[in-house]
Amino acid sequence: MSKVKIVAATGCPTGIAHTFMAAEALISAAEKLGAEIKVETHGQVGIENQLTKEEIQQADGVIIAADKDVLADRFSGKPTIDVSVSKAIKDPETLIQAIINGEAKIYRSSNQVNRNDEDNEEYEKKSIGRIIYQHLMNGISHMLPFVVGGGVLIALSFLFGINSADQNDPSYSAFAAFLNNSGSIAFSLMLPMLAGYIASSISQRSGLVAGFIGGMIADQGGAGFLGALIAGFLAGYLMLYLSRFLKGLPESLNGLKAIFILPLVGIFAVAGIMTVLVVPMSSINTWMQEFVTGFQGASPILLGIIVGCMGASDLGGPINKAAYVTALALLADGNYYFMAGVFSASMTPPLITAFAVIFFKRYFNQSDRSAGIVNFVLGSTQITEGAIPFAAKNPVVMIPIFMIGSSISTALTYLMAVQIPAPHGGFLILPVATNGLLWIACVLIGSIIGSILYGFYQKRTFNKRAKINISDQTERTEVKHVG
């Protein structure tokens, strides 16, 4: 009997950890269940192990494990399972088995959806929330390189002095000004990139231009991150339905439609709507900034608990990303305090596991010890996903432990008035952090407290299993003696 052939595509918003962890999990599960699989990854470096048309056609089923656009329309007509990237990490065997059992539904691209088709309507109702999330994460994933690269360059310019890019300041440095200017240019593209690639995820190339324009208007009008989100979805769906409306045009006009009609109408419509919306959106954006800033000054401990719990609750998933997106929005407006807390919240969970396998070594197996040691590196560089394998074993216990540790780290970070002007990097950006040594202490305190809680839980579990094994062995000995 020939093996079942499966193709898969994985992708997470950052394209750093979840993408490849999901790929490895699917490959391992396929080997275990006797299936043949090829996994295409959509990481930050681009598409790797790309699927060919022939491989897709010959496949018995498709697994899409992604939280962003992975060009899913090419799988149209194939039995497909479409899940979040975390689902593939936590339960890959179920996904593989579903393909083997023929339980996957036929995938319909957005262009094929027929409102009179009950299956399509059911599919839309079930996945509308995830579809919106995927569009949002597609925008964020394309935006991140600009934010990280630009933000770090700006942060490096501060090493020469906080005002070293100002020609009228005594600390002025031409090189610092170059760093600051280069980073600022990259950073200024953050909102247009976000809006453009949200729109592109919804309506492909036709939405890209309108999305960029909407994002620029949001940026220049002070509507900020929220305005760019609205501009992206507005441009995407406007261009999607405009494209459908123009499908009746003769094929000879397709070229004219693509390079003239769609861009012209799209830019005009989105610019007009955003010009009206930008004023109230700007007011809302200002209110949000003032609310967070006020909260930060009045109740840093409570804010630390909220951000800490968000950062550790799903270890790089939607809730974690919500905190990070808020921090990015505030960072763009010059608030470096909020991002410092998000750093601490994201770094603590993997460091908890790292310290736990050191302090309570005898209660962990060799595999856990090795993974824990690696988490010193992952945690220090702000890759929260390193804690996922530990959380997956017992999320009911582990997630609260991670949340407690992260809340302590984050609350202390806010109390110590730590500022971080970079959007990513963990301890790598320590030289540009304000109160950097205090920040290290905050993260270590939360991580060590969390590791002690984890260690005692692991010790209790280890001893309980040992008692069960001794009891079973005694029972077998008694039975043998009686016999």
The set of catalytic residues is: 12
Neighbouring residues of 415: CB distance < 8 A, sequence distance ≥ 6? 300, 301, 304
Q: Exposed (0-12), middle (13-18) or buried (19+): which is 133, by Cβ within 10 Å?
A: middle
Report the alpha-carbon distance of residue 191 to residue 332 in Å, rounded: 10
Reported as type and span, the H/E element at residue 11 is strand 5-11
- Check: CB of residue 426 under 8 Å from CB of residue 381: yes
Instruction: Tell me the residue type at 142.
Output: H
- Check: CB of residue 386 under 8 Å from CB of residue 346: no
Report the alpha-carbon distance of residue 372 to residue 375 in Å, rounded: 5
- Check: CB of residue 195 under 8 Å from CB of residue 238: no
Residues recorded for the chain:
483
- Check: CB of residue 308 under 8 Å from CB of residue 411: yes
Distance of CA 399 to the CA centre of its chain: 18
Report the alpha-carbon distance of residue 138 to residue 151 in Å, rounded: 20
